[in-house]
Structure 1
Amino acid sequence: MSSFLQPFAERFATLDATSLHRLDELYSQDVCFQDPLHQAEGLAELRRYFESIYANVRELRYDFHEFDEVAQGRGYLRWTLHFRHARLAGGGLISLDGCSFLRWSERVDYHRDYFDAGALLYEHLPVLGGVIGWLKRRLA
């Protein structure tokens, strides 16, 4: 198990809308963050992105399943995100599996999340979700 990844994940999982000032304990000032929906360059932009995410969720929790340091200062986290959003899935709990690649020295300077954006967002929108569900059933 990585001596960096698990403590990082544990600290990351405690973040919420009131504690985003602690991002500088985890990320470098020039961090590059990317997920399927957004890209942020620098800590200030990352903080704004996380503020917009946390402002719209009623509950958010991560379960981390695997910590894999593949080289010095590089590794992967496998996780499940659980969240509630008033405008998605009728406010019900949504769970999403994903993986993060991190690069770090003292703090993370590169963070890329991999997940199914449809499973996160589009499948839970009132009209579009029905269409995507229908398409998935037809293609299965």
Structure 2
Amino acid sequence: MDVHEVAAFYQRLDKTTLSELKQIYHPNIEFQDAAHRLVGLDALQHYFEELYRNVNQCRFHIMEVFTHPEGGMITWEMELSHPKLNRGHSVTVCGVSHLKFAEGKVIYHRDYFDMGEMVYEHIPLLGHLVRATKQRLGQS
């Protein structure tokens, strides 16, 4: 297993490919993103099952893959459609995944992305405040 194989898996990830997680991830996987910290393959499996049960669509477009001997990084765009976000319309979020390997599988996976871009900007009232704050800071 290498970073390119993980990237290829994420490009085809959906609810029908979740059974393949055990081929990618180490039993002691540590997974972290802006909202979660999970330890263990069972916890990760449950996380993805819940994610795909609640979304209309979640698709990853891989932009770049960087490798080094112990792991690597993947830059991506995620297209997410959730009934409670943006009135169910698609939201695009850019992010980076940092990966480390042990025994031929991913043992550490940390995703970096802007939670505001994904969630907060699409909640009524709060979204307006987040966008206005970003404008004042010169971010958009």
> Fold match, TM over 0.5?
yes
The answer to whether 1:77 aligns with 2:54 is no
Are residue 99 (structure 1) and residue 96 (structure 2) matched?
yes
SS of the residue aligned with 1:53?
A: helix
Task: Describe the superposition over 1:36-70 as per-residue Cα deviations: whole angstroms up to 9, x where unpaired.
Answer: 11011000001111122111211111111111113
The reply to whether residue 16 of structure 1 matches residue 14 of structure 2 is yes
- One-letter amino acid matched to 1:134: A
CA distance in structure 2 between the aligned counterparts of 1:79 and 1:116, rounded to whole angstroms: 13
* Alignment length (residue pairs): 137
Gaps of 5+ in 1: none
Asked if 1 retains the 8 angstrom alpha-carbon contact of 2:2 and 2:71, the reply is no
Q: Are 1:44 and 2:58 an aligned pair?
A: no
Match of 1:135 among 121, 133, 137: 133
What is the percentage of aligned positions where both structures have the same residue? Answer: 35
* 1:18 positional shift: 3.2
Runs (5+) with no aligned partner, structure 2: none
In the TM superposition, what whole-angstrom CA distance separates every residue of 1:62-97 from its partner, at most 9, and x where no partner exists?
Answer: 111111113x12211011101111111111111111
Matches within 5 A, 1:51-70: 51-70=49-68
- In the alignment, the residues of structure 2 paired with residue 76 and residue 46 of structure 1 have an alpha-carbon distance, to the nearest angstrom, of 19
Tell me if structure 1 keeps the 8 A contact 2:101–2:107.
yes
2:5: which partner in 1? 7
What SS does structure 2 have at the residue aligned with 1:15?
A: coil
Query: How far, CA to CA, are the matches of 2:11 and 2:42 in structure 1?
Result: 19
The offset of 1:137, in angstroms, is 1.8
Task: Tell me the amino acid that sits aligned with residue 11 of structure 1.
Answer: F
* C-alpha RMSD over aligned residues: 1.4
